[in-house]
Structure 1
């Protein structure tokens, strides 16, 4: 009977590659749209990554101006094109970016392993047309900001990390996944300081996303990408540590990390279990823990304020 037609999961959602084709996007454009929250994805019930629901594709295709509007919303430009779009010199554009006034959305490493930052053309146009920014675009850089630039201020890596963390948290389906996202921006020694239990740390590492792929694993380019991914400023590290500790408490309450039945939570493993279980991260000189923020206003709160 027609009323008894069974719809399979594959008919309700499709793979990212197929969704990109149906939406008229290159794969890189599709991935960026997902990162920005422009395209919503759902977990694959079969464990094969994330998929795009058919209803989501229909929603996007029915939007006004499709597909041009969708393609334009994820168009990125580098420093030269960004400066031309904002009608400023490349030097001024770079100063604005280093001050954190325009925020990169992606980066790549050129053949000289120099970092090339990319920005959303849509955001640059909005910045340039805001009358509150006229003096920044045409006038002399205020003395206080000039002093920061002379001291080496460059907020591009940090601002990119903030955007990337927002994407990772949107994709996280539970507290362990959120903890993994936060830990991805911290040095492993910082994580080991917050999570001394080797079984918990091994479980957390299952949910720790890899940095964006740049070069072969272990290559200089890959190491550079890892450095960009890792928080390096005391207040940023403090926020991440505080948020990670908070989310881990929630994760432990909901679903404790697996461990041998004879090993109670919070106690050190016996010598025989150390051989069989995941080893703790070696550190002859553990780092001094970063100062915790005095008030609960961590990276999660910062991201919520940015998206408000």
Structure 2
């Protein structure tokens, strides 16, 4: 009696191969968020905090998450509740509740840099809403050295800073954002683009004189999730938050950009236009192109006129925390 060999159909074999390939292929960010049971905003924050590691998409489509990383995160103790807790954010009202203080006192703490925002958005009233990690708020409230700040009157030195209008929330967010983006940067040019993204374009142009290098940095400029559209009413508010304002912060970023630019140039030159074919020659107005081998001559009086019109002056060439917070904060 002969045995029977069951041979899979071509469709079944293809499905098996596709399943194996899918198992090995990195996941899109939206799919990775679903696999980890996170909302997209929570997932983006988990990535920025380093809780979930991403890899570049080999096809140039942004970043992805490997199946091994999904398995690693799922295997952590307390998943998924612990992961959700680590990316939980609170606004001023909820943060004040966690600290058991008034919203006004919580806002003063944030302005003084005692609690650092992790995110922000512009609401429909064009007001900036700052968000903080709930874990950090709880930790601040639990530290014994902060007990008097939570219950007693604000110390005189801190009150003096508040009276001058100090508000370190934008600056501290920029410092945190810089760290997030530098961790994702793949090479020195990408790192330089991250630093340049926090400087005013005029400041960047003073450091990066080459227009092709500036264009390359612009192409690599990171886009913050949820950033307002360029023409939206919130765009100018976002620009102020995302651009360095204080002199010492600007000086630090300029020095950092100059140093990173040196490293980027050593790594590889910025892309430049490809030169045209060598046999192409410019033509003078009103004159047909020169034949191959013929030397194009420019009238002598044209040369003299150009030389006489040139003025002499036309020939001349024309540890991170130290800067995040002020020393007296």
Among 19, 30, 33, the residue aligned to 1:20: 33
How far apart, CA to CA, are the structure 2 residues paired with 1:216 and 1:235? 29
**1:119 match: secondary structure:** strand
Match of 1:159 in 2: 172
Against the structure 1 CA distance between its residues 169 and 300, is the aligned structure 2 distance closer, same or farther, given a 3 Å change threshold?
Answer: farther
1:63 to 2:79 alignment: no
Contact kept? 1:13, 1:51, Cα under 8 Å = yes
Per-residue CA deviation, residues 27-64 of structure 1 (Å, 9 max, x unaligned), is 01000111111111011111111011111111111111
Match of 1:150 in 2: 163
Match of 1:107 in 2: 120
How far apart, CA to CA, are the structure 2 residues paired with 1:243 and 1:301? 14
1:138 to 2:154 alignment: no
- RMSD between superposed Cα atoms in Å: 2.1
Unaligned runs of 5+ in 2: 1-16, 276-318, 325-329
1:50 to 2:63 alignment: yes
Among 172, 175, 199, the residue aligned to 1:186: 199
**TM-score relative to the length of structure 2:** 0.76
How far did 1:260 drift? 4.6
How far did 1:220 drift? 2.2
Residues 256-271 of structure 1: pairs in structure 2 closer than 5 A: 256-260=269-273
Larger gyration radius, structure 1 or structure 2: 2
Match of 2:94 in 1: 81
How far apart, CA to CA, are the structure 2 residues paired with 1:42 and 1:215? 26
Unaligned runs of 5+ in 1: 263-297, 304-308
After TM superposition, the runs of 4+ consecutive aligned structure 1 residues lying more than 4 A away are 4-7, 298-303
How far did 1:215 drift? 3.8
Match of 1:121 in 2: 134
How far apart, CA to CA, are the structure 2 residues paired with 1:140 and 1:148? 14
**2:65 match: secondary structure:** strand
Against the structure 1 CA distance between its residues 261 and 51, is the aligned structure 2 distance closer, same or farther, given a 3 Å change threshold?
Answer: closer
**2:271 match: secondary structure:** coil
Match of 1:177 in 2: 190
How far did 1:11 drift? 2.1
Contact kept? 2:198, 2:244, Cα under 8 Å = yes
Contact kept? 2:95, 2:106, Cα under 8 Å = yes
Contact kept? 1:184, 1:210, Cα under 8 Å = no
How far apart, CA to CA, are the structure 2 residues paired with 1:215 and 1:254? 33
Match of 1:289 in 2: none
Per-residue CA deviation, residues 208-249 of structure 1 (Å, 9 max, x unaligned), is 123554443222201111110000001111111001000000
How far apart, CA to CA, are the structure 2 residues paired with 1:30 and 1:185? 24
Contact kept? 1:214, 1:221, Cα under 8 Å = no
Contact kept? 1:212, 1:225, Cα under 8 Å = no
Among 257, 261, 271, the residue aligned to 1:244: 257
**TM-score relative to the length of structure 1:** 0.81
